[in-house]
Amino acid sequence: MSKNYQMRRPLSQHADALTLDDIAGIAGVSRFHLVRAFGAATGFSVMRYARARRLTEAARALARGAPDILSLALDADYGSHEAFTRAFRDHFGVTPEAVRSSTCLDHLKLQEPILMDSTLIDNLQAPRFEAANAFLVAGVGDRFSHENGAGIPGLWQRFHQTSADIPGRIGRVAYGVCCNGDDAGNFDYIAGVEVSDYSDLPREFAKVRIPAQRYAVFTHREHVSTIRRTVNTIWNHWLPASGLKIADAPNFERYDEKFDPATGNGGFEIWVPVRD
C-alpha cells in the first residue's frame, strides 16, 4: 500500500467513474485487502474518502468562482446538477451556490489528503504462526464501519454485563471477532466466548463459526486503546512485506486471563488468517 492516500485527480475534463476495483488495481492488492487495510490506516472507507476528496476539490473550485456547477458535478463523478447538490449539501451542510457566493471555505470540513506514516509503529514484534482448529463463538454483536468503530468499546461493556448468560461456555478466554466485511467497509464485530454448541443459545446473542485456519498471531502489549496502530502496521507494513495473503476467514482479538477489561491493560493477541 502507498504511504500517502492522496487520490489527487485534477478537475479537468470529466473525471472517470472511480470504482473500488480501479483503486485496488492501482494499489496492486485485492478488494478485500484494500478495504481492510485502508480502514485500519485511516478510519475511513475507501469510497467515502474518495467522494470526500472530490467534493473538497469541487468546493475549492466553487470558492474560486467556478461558473459551471454541472461541469463540476460531472468532474466529481455525479450524473446531474441535482445529485451533486444533494451530496454536497449532505457532506458540507451548505449548497454549492452558497459556497460560490461566499468565496469562503473556513466553515467547511474539508477532506485533506491523508498521510499514514505517523500511524505505523516501528517495533512490531514478529508473529508466531498457529494452525487452529475450528471453533464456535457466541456473544454480543453489531454491525460497524471504519467510521463508527468507536462504538466497539460499548459493545464490550454489553458483553461483560451479559457474558454469564451465554450457555455452553468453554474456558475464560474472550474473543473480538471481525467478520462479514463488505466493499463499503462495513463489518460485523462480535465480542464473545467459545461455546460447545448453539443449541441453547438465546436469540439475542450473535454467533460465528471460526473455521480451521492458519494464523499469524501478533501480541499487542500496550493499552487496548492503541490497537488501531498495531492493526494498521500489520495490514500496511508487515503483510505486504511477508509475501502472504489474507485468507477469506474472520480475524479476531484473543483476550486471556492476563487482560484486565476494567483498565484495558494486560495485553492480548491479534489473530490474522493467512495463506501462501
Can you tell me the distance from the alpha carbon of 59 to that of 198, in angstroms, rounded to the nearest whole number?
Answer: 53
Residue 57 has pLDDT above 70, yes or no: yes
Verify that 108 and 162 share a domain, yes or no. no
Domain boundary among 90, 117, 144: 117
Residue 1 has pLDDT above 50, yes or no: no
Amino acid making up residue 80: S
Verify that 144 and 270 share a domain, yes or no. yes
Verify that 271 and 138 share a domain, yes or no. yes
What pLDDT score does 118 carry? 56
Verify that 172 and 267 share a domain, yes or no. yes
Verify that 159 and 199 share a domain, yes or no. yes
Mean pLDDT score of the chain, rounded to an integer? Answer: 88
33 or 125: which carries more pLDDT confidence?
A: 125
Range in 9-13, 226-230, 235-239 the model is least confident about = 9-13
The model's confidence at residue 117, banded by pLDDT at 50, 70 and 90, is low
pLDDT tens digits, residue range 7-50?
434 434 445 677 888 888 887 777 888 888 888 778 788 888 98
Mean pLDDT value of segment 202-220: 97
Beta bridge partners of 216: 129, 272
Print the domain residue range for 62. Answer: 4-117
Residue 110: alpha-carbon gap to chain centroid: 20
Can you tell me the distance from the alpha carbon of 59 to that of 94, in angstroms, rounded to the nearest whole number?
Answer: 10
Mean pLDDT value of segment 42-64: 91
Verify that 139 and 266 share a domain, yes or no. yes
Can you give the pTM of this predicted structure? Answer: 0.75
In CATH, what number is assigned to the domain containing residue 35? 1.10.10.60
Domain boundary among 117, 143, 175: 117
Backbone φ and ψ for 188, nearest 5 degrees, come out as -90, 140
What pLDDT score does 30 carry? 78
- Spatial neighbors of 139 by CB under 8 A, at least 6 apart, are 159, 163, 166, 174, 175, 190, 191, 192, 193, 205, 206, 207
The residue among 24, 11, 20, 146 whose CA lies nearest residue 78 is 11
Residue 122 inside a domain? The answer is no
Verify that 100 and 26 share a domain, yes or no. yes
Verify that 81 and 24 share a domain, yes or no. yes
pLDDT tens digits, residue range 88-98?
999 999 999 99
